[in-house]
Amino acid sequence: MNDTPKGATHTTPKGTRKRAQLLDAAEELLLASGHTGLSLRAVATAAGVRLGHLQYYFPTRADLVAAVLDRALTRSLDNLAPLLSPREPASPADPRQLIGLLLAEQDDPRLVRLFTELWALAAVDETVAVAVRTFYRAYQDQVAAFLRARHPALPAAACRARAAVFTMLIEGAALFRSGIADYPTEETDAELMATAMALLRNPADRNPADLP
């Protein structure tokens, strides 16, 4: 019985475990050696498998990076699921909680380092950049859906634009809140929260008294 390589719609438990082990090895290699050390051969060596075995699941480096990103997005969405899931109109999800959870992810230095290396790799490898853009479009889709659920009258184009700017704000903040570019303060975090909240609110609902 085969373990079903990348691209198939079903996979065996054994194949799922092997994929997870290979993705773990890729993440550890990125953290230890940086993006310049990420090659299929290096990942195969780190995972203790033959190169052909790795390529059975991830034929190219871009496929491997896409899977790393997809797993990261899945983990994040699992954490956010209680806030992103449909709710009764009378009790919509609190944007402040959503922002708080996203910012809390930036307190994980390994996660920030992982994404920093992936951004750097995407800057020099267009095939990887495609995977990164796909990841962030899926991220924006979730934010846009959150906005539509809270503000059904808000035009779709406006939801999409706000979702894009929100994503830019939160992801860019990682460089400054992680210590890579600077360090956060209570004042900068308060301003960040206020700006992010403004993007998730319907213009008609904005009330300065609700912001920090």
Query: Which positions of the chain have pLDDT values less than 50?
Result: 1-4, 6-10, 89-90, 208-212
- Domains delineated in the chain: 1-59 (1.10.10.60), 61-203 (1.10.357)
SS3 percent helix, strand, coil of the chain, rounded to 5, is: 75, 0, 25
pLDDT of residue 1: 36
C-alpha 182/C-alpha 174 separation (Å) is 10
The alpha carbon torsion through 184, 185, 186, 192 (nearest 10 deg) reads: -40
Q: What is the pLDDT of residues 123-157, one digit of tens each?
A: 999 999 999 999 999 999 989 998 988 889 999 99
The alpha carbon torsion through 59, 60, 61, 64 (nearest 10 deg) reads: -40
- Burial status of residue 126 (CB atoms within 10 A of its CB: 0-12, 13-18, 19 or more): exposed
pLDDT of residue 2: 42
pLDDT of residue 46: 95
Q: Which two tokens stand for residue 65?
A: 């990076």
pLDDT of residue 76: 85
**What does DSSP assign to residue 143?**
H
C-alpha 66/C-alpha 73 separation (Å) is 10
Q: Which two tokens stand for residue 60?
A: 């190219």
Contacts 24+ apart (CB under 8 A), 116-119: 116/174, 116/175, 116/180, 117/30, 117/31, 117/34, 117/35, 117/38, 118/30, 118/35, 118/65, 118/68, 118/69
Q: Which two tokens stand for residue 152?
A: 């059904």
Q: Which of 59, 54, 52, 66 is nearest to 21 (CA)?
A: 54
C-alpha 34/C-alpha 119 separation (Å) is 11
C-alpha 6/C-alpha 178 separation (Å) is 33
pLDDT of residue 62: 93
Q: What is the CA radius of gyration of the chain?
A: 19
Burial call 47-71: b when 16+ CB within 10 Å, e when fewer: bebeeeebbbbbeebbbbbbbbbeb
Q: Are 136 and 144 in contact (CB under 8 A)?
A: no
Q: What is the pLDDT of residues 47-72, one digit of tens each?
A: 999 999 999 999 999 999 999 999 99
